[in-house]
Amino acid sequence: MSTADEKINRGQEQDYEIDTLTNDRLISDHEYDGIRELDNDLPPWWTWLFVITIVFAIVYLIRLFVFSSDDLIQQSEYNKEMAQAASMLPSQIQTSAIEFKVLTDQTSLTNGKTIFDKICSVCHLMDGGGLVGPNMTDDHWIHGNTMEEMFNIVTNGVLDKGMISYKDQYSPQQRLEVLSYILTLHGSKPANPKAPQGDLKEWPY
């Protein structure tokens, strides 16, 4: 038998001696410095794991090259994500083309009040009288009282004065709702109104 054959068939063709104590199969003539080479069967869990990796590889290769399954090909995954990103664009463009109108329906005002009471009241107070932020019930406005001007403040904030940007937290619709609610506070009598700040504005604008 050639040496190549011997290598392939070693499992069957080797001469074994069985160690009487441990039942290990010892390969004849494979002993170095008193260390003897064994040729025991692999544990079943190892063999099965090996078989599973082969099956996995076959399935994977068939899906990839024969069926060109979408998810496995990076290019199509990339295309999918780009398409998804592109589909988000129009809504962002809409933000800049938003219609700045005061909402008067009850649902919008209720939604607006929920946001105001939870978030804005921390600085503008529940009744809009003002604390850190200015009084929302008087006729004076620092940045103007048209819906567009107010929307701009809520969207971008006035960071150095302590007014936060809410463009990531609230959708344009929600920003219109909370501002529309704020306008309903105009002319009310808050408990501790903050002194007017900014310019006197026409009302209603």
Residue position matching structure tokens 């290769």: 61
Contact 162, 133 (CB under 8 A): yes
Query: How many whole angstroms separate alpha carbon 113 and alpha carbon 165?
Result: 18
Q: How far is the CB of 101 from ligand HEC (least distance, A)?
A: 16
Q: Does the protein bind ligand HEC through residue 109 (CB under 6 A)?
A: no
Instruction: Tell me, residue by residue from 60 to 99, as one string, x for binding to ligand HEC by CB under 6 A and - for no binding.
Output: ----------------------------------------
Q: Which stretch binds ligand HEC (CB under 6 A): 10-18, 23-31, 35-43, 115-123?
A: 115-123
Q: Does the protein bind ligand HEC through residue 141 (CB under 6 A)?
A: yes
Give the dihedral of Cα atoms 49, 53, 54, 58; nearest 10 deg.
150
| Angle, vertex CA 164, rays to CA 113 and CA 92, nearest 5 | 80
Which stretches of the chain bind ligand HEC, using CB under 6 A?
115, 119-120, 122-124, 132-134, 141-143, 150, 153-154, 158, 161-164, 166, 178-179, 198
